[in-house]
């Protein structure tokens, strides 16, 4: 289904991005993976049996432009690059909080603009949303929630501005990925607690989010969509 198609993934070295890379590869895609850590990119490319890898921070405009310099046609662009930038407004430096906007709004804009001349006519762009758009609850999530909601608005407007290129948003609920490694020894207990709160009784797997992303990439009538894959998390 993805034979000879070039899929570029910012955030392709881990978690949801890597799972999507793996599924796209098994369907014949050519891959470019982008991330900040060369080591992680190298490990991912080896695990996938080969991929073009480019080290770049998505918030660095010049570095993002380099990703596409001399690159071949782009059929699908996926942006999962980002961390969980949370912090209470009262006691967090705004520069730290605003990183959520840099990673989720500014960075994707740099990537999309740089890729524009390379997109095939039937290309798709998939941006990363999340449950915080509908449920901005939790400790210190004000700015990251605004960023995630902003991604949805950005995608809807771009789906019109960039036509016929399609622009969609994947909105995962809690998904067990290395994103939660920052919790250290609290990781397992935290995810267990989340699992018990969800209608499905467990958190998601990266592969489950990845298959939804491939659906949006490959179904040429899906456009301007925000696809929630959250185990019913928005309901509780």
Ligand X SMILES: NC(=O)c1ccc[n+]([C@@H]2O[C@H](COP(=O)([O-])OP(=O)(O)OC[C@H]3O[C@@H](n4cnc5c(N)ncnc54)[C@H](OP(=O)(O)O)[C@@H]3O)[C@@H](O)[C@H]2O)c1
Q: With CB under 6 A as the contact rule, which of the stretches 14-22, 90-98, 149-157, 220-228 interacts with ligand X?
A: 14-22
Asked if 47 is part of the footprint of ligand X (rule: CB under 6 A), the reply reads no
Cα–Cα distance, 234 to 138 (Å, whole number): 13
Asked if 36 is part of the footprint of ligand X (rule: CB under 6 A), the reply reads yes
Burial 84-123 (b: 16+ CB within 10 A, else e): ebbbeeeeeeeeebebbbbbbbbbbebbbebbeebbeeeb
Tokens of 107: 């960075």
Number of residues that bind ligand X (CB under 6 A): 28
Asked if 168 is part of the footprint of ligand X (rule: CB under 6 A), the reply reads no
Q: Applying CB under 6 A, which of residues 29, 81, 214, 217 lies at the interface with ligand X?
A: 81
Q: Applying CB under 6 A, which of residues 59, 124, 126, 168 lies at the interface with ligand X?
A: 59
- What count of other Cβ atoms lies within 10 Å of the Cβ of residue 49? 10
Q: Which is nearer to ligand X, 183 or 220 (CB)?
A: 183
How many Å separate Cα 186 from the centre of its chain?
24
Cα–Cα distance, 34 to 185 (Å, whole number): 29
Residues that bind ligand X (CB under 6 A): 10-11, 13-17, 35-37, 40, 57-59, 80-84, 103, 128, 130, 172, 174-175, 177-179
């Amino acid at each position: 289904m993805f034979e000879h198609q070039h899929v570029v993934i910012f955030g392709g070295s881990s978690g949801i991005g890597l799972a999507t890379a793996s599924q796209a590869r098994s369907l014949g895609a050519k891959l470019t993976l982008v991330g900040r850590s060369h080591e992680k990119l190298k490990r991912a490319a080896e695990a996938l049996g080969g991929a073009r890898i480019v080290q770049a921070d998505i918030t660095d405009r010049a570095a993002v432009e380099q990703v596409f310099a001399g690159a071949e046609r782009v059929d699908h662009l996926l942006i999962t690059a980002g961390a969980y930038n949370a912090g209470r407004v009262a006691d967090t430096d705004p520069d730290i909080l605003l990183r959520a906007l840099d990673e989720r709004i500014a960075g994707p804009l740099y990537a999309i603009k740089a890729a524009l001349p390379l997109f095939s006519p039937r290309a798709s762009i998939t941006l990363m949303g999340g449950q915080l758009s509908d449920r901005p609850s939790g400790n210190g999530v004000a700015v990251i929630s605004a960023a995630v909601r902003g991604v949805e608005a950005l995608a809807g407007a771009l789906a019109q501005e960039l036509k016929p290129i399609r622009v969609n948003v994947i909105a995962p609920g809690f998904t067990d990925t290395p994103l939660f490694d920052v919790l250290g020894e609290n990781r397992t207990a935290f995810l267990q607690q989340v699992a018990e709160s969800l209608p499905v009784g467990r958190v998601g797997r990266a592969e489950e989010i990845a298959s939804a992303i491939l659906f949006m990439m490959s179904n040429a009538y899906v456009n301007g969509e925000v696809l929630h894959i959250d185990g019913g998390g928005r309901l509780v």
